[in-house]
């Protein structure tokens, strides 16, 4: 009961207020304890496990000088108030994804991903060597936080559909759960975009309240049982080619942290950034096999003509957003310039290699195995 009251107080205090029930961090013998709030249910595969990994790594690497206690979505603050809770110093640290904070600064949404944007490796290359970290650092500083990329889902799927998509006109009147920039593009194509939390997707598909829904990819979609509620599983995930997750730390708390602990936090975020992507890649492959072999899911590829139209609409949606806000335009300009440079190399190196590896003569396993 006391715990319930505490949580209720903490939640109703909202982002701006310092909840009476949240104790200040324990500080004994030079040891620090930070509280980390997330936008994810605790231990949600791939997403919710990222902050747990981060906390374990920081605790071990610092030999307990800095420990991080993870709270799942709603445990201390509602999920979409996580950044405010960190910015105001209610807690020290948070984990989510940049596009959740677009209500604060619109440009932040482009830091997650964008339609027909960058693959996870390209996105990380932009952050590290394409000016992305500087741009993101400035945006998060304006929100009172220090920023690190801290996980990537890799390419997502196009979504689950109960109608076939053969032409762009098939999006007209389509009731689809697809948030963010992808949703703006589907809306521009005449779709009826519905906002729903992930957990409500299966029943909405079954009742016909939705004709289609995107969630993440095989790993998360299998866990949700989405194959039970929709006929076709479409690809590619044109709208989310590599979604970045974020770690954000209260700016004043970060500045006060000794430099060796700062380095530990920074490198732990870097390690988790890669580990989450590896987890998604590994689990997506095995989950796709289960969806196809055990659940007889029908895969469908969006026709090229549909992808071309979605690409054209994406350009219009992004141009429009950029024209409304100079900071959005500078982030988009940087991303689009990087994509243009990267596209020729990725096509030459990765795309042509993947085509070569898929040719019919390529061996499945070494002889004798």
Minimum separation from the CB atom of position 177 to Ca ion (A):
9
Minimum separation from the CB atom of position 240 to Ca ion (A):
5
**CA 210 – CA 179 distance, rounded (Å):** 14
Beta bridge partners of 94: 37, 248
- Identify which of residues 225 and 258 has a Cβ nearer to Ca ion in the complex: 225
Minimum separation from the CB atom of position 156 to Ca ion (A):
5
- How many residues make contact with Ca ion (CB under 5 A)? 2
Tokens of 172: 């007209």
Minimum separation from the CB atom of position 47 to Ca ion (A):
11
**CA 311 – CA 271 distance, rounded (Å):** 33
Minimum separation from the CB atom of position 101 to Ca ion (A):
17
**CA 85 – CA 13 distance, rounded (Å):** 10
**CA 204 – CA 213 distance, rounded (Å):** 9
- Identify which of residues 156 and 273 has a Cβ nearer to Ca ion in the complex: 156
Per-residue x/- track, 33-62, Ca ion (CB under 5 A): ------------------------------
Minimum separation from the CB atom of position 8 to Ca ion (A):
31
Minimum separation from the CB atom of position 320 to Ca ion (A):
22
Distances in whole angstroms, Cα of residue 195 to Cα of each of 106, 175, 200, 251:
18, 10, 10, 32
**CA 310 – CA 343 distance, rounded (Å):** 18
Minimum separation from the CB atom of position 37 to Ca ion (A):
21
Minimum separation from the CB atom of position 288 to Ca ion (A):
16
- Identify which of residues 156 and 284 has a Cβ nearer to Ca ion in the complex: 156
Per-residue x/- track, 207-246, Ca ion (CB under 5 A): ---------------------------------x------
- Identify which of residues 156 and 328 has a Cβ nearer to Ca ion in the complex: 156
Minimum separation from the CB atom of position 242 to Ca ion (A):
11
Per-residue x/- track, 121-160, Ca ion (CB under 5 A): -----------------------------------x----
**CA 40 – CA 227 distance, rounded (Å):** 22
For Ca ion, the binding residues (CB under 5 A) are 156, 240
């Amino acid at each position: 009961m006391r715990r319930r009251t505490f949580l209720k107080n903490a939640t109703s205090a909202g982002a701006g207020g310092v909840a009476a029930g949240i104790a200040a961090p324990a500080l004994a013998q030079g040891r620090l304890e930070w509280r980390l709030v997330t936008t994810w249910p605790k231990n949600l595969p791939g997403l919710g496990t990222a902050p747990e990994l981060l906390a374990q790594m920081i605790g071990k690497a610092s030999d307990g000088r800095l420990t991080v206690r993870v709270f799942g979505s709603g445990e201390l603050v509602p999920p979409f108030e996580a950044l405010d809770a960190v910015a105001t110093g209610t807690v020290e640290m948070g984990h989510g994804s940049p596009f959740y904070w677009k209500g604060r600064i619109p440009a932040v949404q482009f830091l997650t991903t964008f339609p027909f944007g960058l693959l996870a490796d390209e996105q990380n290359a932009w952050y590290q060597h394409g000016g992305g970290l500087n741009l993101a650092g400035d945006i998060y500083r304006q929100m009172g936080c220090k920023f690190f990329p801290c996980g990537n889902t890799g390419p997502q799927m196009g979504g689950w559909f109960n109608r076939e998509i053969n032409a762009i006109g098939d999006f007209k009147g389509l009731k689809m759960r697809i948030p963010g920039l992808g949703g703006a593009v589907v809306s521009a194509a005449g779709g009826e975009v519905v906002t729903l939390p992930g957990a409500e997707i299966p029943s909405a598909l079954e009742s016909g309240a939705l004709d289609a829904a995107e969630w993440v990819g095989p790993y998360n979609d299998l866990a949700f049982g989405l194959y039970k509620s929709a006929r076709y599983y479409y690809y590619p995930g044109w709208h989310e080619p590599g979604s970045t997750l974020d770690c954000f730390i209260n700016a004043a708390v970060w500045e006060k942290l000794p430099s060796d602990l700062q380095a530990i936090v920074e490198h732990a975020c870097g390690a988790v950034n890669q580990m989450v992507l590896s987890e998604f890649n590994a689990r997506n492959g095995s989950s796709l096999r289960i969806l196809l072999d055990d659940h007889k899911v029908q895969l469908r590829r969006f026709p090229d003509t549909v992808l071309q139209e979605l690409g054209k609409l994406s350009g219009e949606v992004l141009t429009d957003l950029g024209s409304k806000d100079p900071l959005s335009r500078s982030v988009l300009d940087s991303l689009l310039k990087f994509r243009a440079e990267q596209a020729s190399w990725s096509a030459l190196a990765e795309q042509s290699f993947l085509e070569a590896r898929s040719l019919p003569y390529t061996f499945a396993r070494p002889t004798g195995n």
